[in-house]
Structure 1
Amino acid sequence: MPENSLAAFSAAIEAGHGIECDVQRARDGTPMVFHDWELDRLTDEEGPVAKRDARSLARIALKGGEQQRIPTLADLLELVAGRVPLLIEVKSRKDARVSAHCLAIRRALEGYRGAHGVMSFDPRVAHWFAAHSPTTLRGLVVSEQDDKALPGRIRRSLAIRHAQPDFLAWDVRDLPSRLAAAQRRKGRPVATWTVRTEEQRARAERYADAPIAEGHGFG
C-alpha cells in the first residue's frame, strides 16, 4: 500500500499497530500527510508540495494502487479516532518559519483525545510545542550519519538542550550511541528508526525503548 495513505493507516489500525506519519505544509497552510518535499517519487505529478494548496493536493493520486490520494492531517485524525497511538513527524527546513506550521498542527489536534505526539529533526518544533502546547508529547529526531566528529556531537547536544523534548527518536544505524545512552540514563525515552531487519530489531531492543518499524522490522 502507498506510504502515508489512509489504506496503509487502516491496515495498521486493524493489526493493532501504532502509526508514524509525516506532515508538511500546503501552500495555504493546511497540514498534509506526505513524506517528500517533492511530489515526483510518490505521485505522477512533479514539483514541490508547498506550491500546491490543500484542495489541489487532495486530488493527487498516490502511486502503488488502492486508489489512494494525499490525505490531510484532519483526514488521518478522523480515521484513527484514538484507536491506536499516533506519532506525527513534522517536516521542516532550516530556512522555514516553523511557528505557522506548528500552530496549524496544534489546531488540527484540538479536541483529539487519542494518544499522540509530535517530533521533528528541527529542534524549533519541540521548542514551540513546549511553549505553546505543553501537554503535547514532543520529540526530537536525531541522526549521527556523516556528522560524528566533535562539531556534530556539540550540535546534537545543543539541539537537545534547545528542544527540551519528552523523548528522542534516534537513527538505528547509530546505535549504540553514547549520547543516546546518556539521555536514557537521565530518564528520557529513546525510540529508534527505521527498524527494517531482524538485526536492527535486536539492536532496538537492546539500546532503545521502542522501534519505529516497517517490513521485517515488525518481527
Structure 2
Amino acid sequence: MPELPSSFTARPIAHRGLHDRAAGVIENSPAAFRRAVGAGYGIEMDLQLSADGVAMVFHDDTLDRLTAAKGPVRARSAAELADIRLTGSEDRIPTLAEVLALVDGAVPLLIELKDQSGGLGQAAPDLERAVAADLKGYAGDVAVMSFNPAMIGAMRDLAPDVPRGLVTCGYVPSQWPMLSPETCTALRSIGSFGAVGARFISHDWTDLGSPRVRELKAQGVPILCWTVKSPQAEAEARRVADSITFEGYLPPLDPPQD
C-alpha cells in the first residue's frame, strides 16, 4: 500500500487553498490555489461530481452558498459549472484536471472526495472513477481522503498507487443528524482503516485526544488534522498531529521540532 509522502507532514496544508474572501480569493478557487503555491503551503481541496461525470473542485453539494446559482452541483454538466462565477471573484468552478495542471507538482495536494451517498454509505463509484482517471500520470505528491470509508475502498481498487486516508472526528450524534447513533459509533472507532487500505487520517483537531487516534499514532500512522484557525490552536494540535490543515492565519512553513 502506498505510504503518505513526507511532504504532507513537512509543511502546513492550506484548507481549500489559501483563500481570503475579503480579498476576493474564494475557497477552492484557482486564485486560492495559486496563492498557496506562491506561499509554499500544501493544498487541501474538495471534489463533487458533475452531471456528466467530471470531478469538480467544490465543497458543498449545492451551489447556493458560494455562487449566485441554486441547486445541486450534480444537476449540472461540467461545462455549465465552469460558467458559474464564484461570488466575490472572477473565478469559475474549476475541474480537478484544471487544478492538477495549475499546481503541476509544485506543492502536495490533499484531495477530499465528498460523500455522494447522503449517509457515508455505499453509492456508485462515479466520483472515484473520475478522480482515478484524472490522477493517472500525475507526477506530483497527491493523496486522497474521505469521511466515507466506502469511497476510499473504491479508490484502493481504482487507483491502488495513490495514497489513501480517512477524514475522521468524534462523530457526536447530535452533530451528524443524518447518521444513526450506531453508525456514529462505528465511524468513531475508525475500524475500517485497515480494510480500505488507509495509510493516514485527517482528524478533527479538537478531538486529537481520542484513544483511537493515539493508538494509530503509536502504530506509526501519520496524523493530519483539520481545521486549525490560530497559532494557539496549532500549538495544541501539534502535540499529537504530524501536520495541520489551516485557514484564517499564516502558520510558519517549517513545523516546530520536538
Same fold per superposition (TM over 0.5): yes
Contact 1:201 1:217 in 2 (8 A): no
Q: 1:51 to 1:126 in 2, by over 3 A?
A: same
Q: Unaligned regions of 5+ residues in structure 1, if any?
A: none
Which of 82, 86, 107 pairs up with 1:84?
107
Percent identity over the alignment is 40
The aligned length equals: 217
Contact 2:30 2:94 in 1 (8 A): yes
1:20 corresponds to 2:44: yes
Contact 1:172 1:195 in 2 (8 A): yes
Contact 2:50 2:73 in 1 (8 A): yes
Q: 1:134 to 1:141 in 2, by over 3 A?
A: same
The one-letter amino acid paired with 2:73 is V
2:63 alignment partner in structure 1: 39
The separation in 2 between residues aligned to 1:145 and 1:166, in whole angstroms, is 20
Q: 1:98 to 1:193 in 2, by over 3 A?
A: farther
TM-superposition CA deviations, 1:3-25 (whole Å, max 9, x none): 00001100100001111000110
The one-letter amino acid paired with 1:51 is A
SS at match of 1:215: coil
How far the C-alpha of 1:64 sits from its partner, in A, is 2.1
SS at match of 2:198: coil
How far the C-alpha of 1:153 sits from its partner, in A, is 4.0
1:202 alignment partner in structure 2: 235
TM-superposition CA deviations, 1:50-81 (whole Å, max 9, x none): 0000000000000122x100000011001000
The one-letter amino acid paired with 2:37 is I
1:71 alignment partner in structure 2: 94
Contact 1:43 1:62 in 2 (8 A): yes
How far the C-alpha of 1:216 sits from its partner, in A, is 2.3
1:133 alignment partner in structure 2: 159
The separation in 1 between residues aligned to 2:159 and 2:100, in whole angstroms, is 18
Higher RCO (C-alpha under 8 Å, 6+ residues apart):
2
Q: 1:166 to 1:98 in 2, by over 3 A?
A: farther
Contact 1:44 1:63 in 2 (8 A): yes
Normalised TM-score (structure 1): 0.93
* Range moving further from structure 2, 198-207 or 104-113: 198-207
SS at match of 1:127: helix
1:100 alignment partner in structure 2: 126
The one-letter amino acid paired with 2:240 is Y
Q: Unaligned regions of 5+ residues in structure 2, if any?
A: 1-24, 175-180, 253-258
Normalised TM-score (structure 2): 0.79
The separation in 2 between residues aligned to 1:78 and 1:204, in whole angstroms, is 32
The one-letter amino acid paired with 1:185 is A
The separation in 1 between residues aligned to 2:108 and 2:187, in whole angstroms, is 30
SS at match of 1:162: coil
The one-letter amino acid paired with 1:214 is E
Contact 1:92 1:98 in 2 (8 A): no
Contact 2:171 2:188 in 1 (8 A): no
1:171 corresponds to 2:204: yes
Higher helix share: 1
Which of 157, 171, 187 pairs up with 1:155?
187
SS at match of 2:202: strand
Contact 1:196 1:217 in 2 (8 A): no
